[in-house]
Amino acid sequence: MVNESLKIQNVVIVGTGLMGSGIAQVAIESGVNVIVVGRTQEKCIATKTKISTGLARSAKRKFADSAENQSQYVEAALSNLKFATELADVNFSESDLVIEAIVENLKVKQKLFSDIEKVVSKKCIFATNTSSFQLKDISSKLSRQDNFAGLHFFNPVPAMKLVELVRGDETSEEVYNALFSFCQRLGKTPVRCKDTPGFIVNRLLIPNLLDAMKMVERGDAEISDIDTATKLGTGYPMGPFELLDYIGLDTMKFIVDGWHQRNPEDDKFAPCEMMDKLVSEGKLGKKTGEGFLKYN
């Protein structure tokens, strides 16, 4: 049972990338009021377009035979959505939850949370969507760690049912329960995770994706054969290279480099030259039109 004082209705999402826009979409579809904070007006406009496209897709699925119902559904969801380009423009006194979904960089995330902590009310919960940092590293300088947790959504958020709900050493039971109910309200299945590197999924998935790249670097198999073999041989919906491109190679590189720095002796997390080269060329995967594969 969620304490009424921790019911989550007003949410601020910081980040207009793949994850920020996906989380915003599912939240507004569930009747949650959302303010998305982006760095520029252009990013906010592009995110609104992306969310509108996702909503139209959901609406089509829900109301296949009524264009009118589809447009009502999209309009109703969009009426729950606002944008801001500065934290200072957000009325944080009304926010129940802030979800951080910005670049996978520890210092940038730490700075954001320390800025947010100065402006939110005491009851406001903070959550990070980090893929690879431990909560204790992000929150070490925060004074209210009991209100801090990990909400690790999966990409694409509208389609992926899982949220890893990560409990830090200091996260309060009340906050954890409120977030559990929030995930369920969004139609997601939360799983309980401890504050360990990569939580559950990424601790298993990322070494596997790195192994696939090393297989190509050694000349043991071709990219297209690895993707086909993985899909047909295991039933995965995407092969490792399709998935790497889907996640974003810049995000993957941030994850791998961070783990390598923290575990230099562990070969599992050794950097991959082929991925580093693509990132240096701006080929970041599906989001830029090219990564290991090309998209039109």
Is residue 280 part of the annotated active site? The answer reads no
Is residue 131 part of the annotated active site? The answer reads yes
Is residue 164 part of the annotated active site? The answer reads yes
Amino acid at 269: F
Closer residue to ligand CAA in complex, CB, 96/245 = 245
- Min CB(198)–ligand NAD separation in Å: 11
The answer to whether the beta carbons of residues 32 and 12 sit under 8 Å apart is: no
- Min CB(103)–ligand NAD separation in Å: 4
Binding status of residue 235 toward ligand CAA by CB under 6 A: no
Site for ligand CAA in 61-120 (CB under 6 A): 61
Q: Which does 160 bind (CB under 5 to 8 A by kind): ligand CAA, ligand NAD, none?
A: ligand CAA
Binding residues for ligand CAA, how many (CB under 6 A)? 16
Binding status of residue 25 toward ligand NAD by CB under 6 A: no
Binding status of residue 254 toward ligand CAA by CB under 6 A: no
Is residue 260 part of the annotated active site? The answer reads no
Phi, psi for residue 219 in degrees, rounded to 5? 80, 20
- Min CB(144)–ligand NAD separation in Å: 21
Site for ligand CAA in 202-221 (CB under 6 A): 202
Closest CA to 95 of 171, 177, 6: 6
Q: Which does 18 bind (CB under 5 to 8 A by kind): ligand CAA, ligand NAD, none?
A: ligand NAD
* Catalytically annotated residue among 80, 129, 131, 172: 131
Piece of 73-81, 123-131, 207-215, 272-280 that binds ligand NAD (CB under 6 A): 123-131
**List of residues contacting ligand CAA (CB under 6 A):** 54, 57-58, 61, 131, 154-156, 158-160, 202, 237-238, 243, 247
Return the active site residues: 131, 152, 164, 202
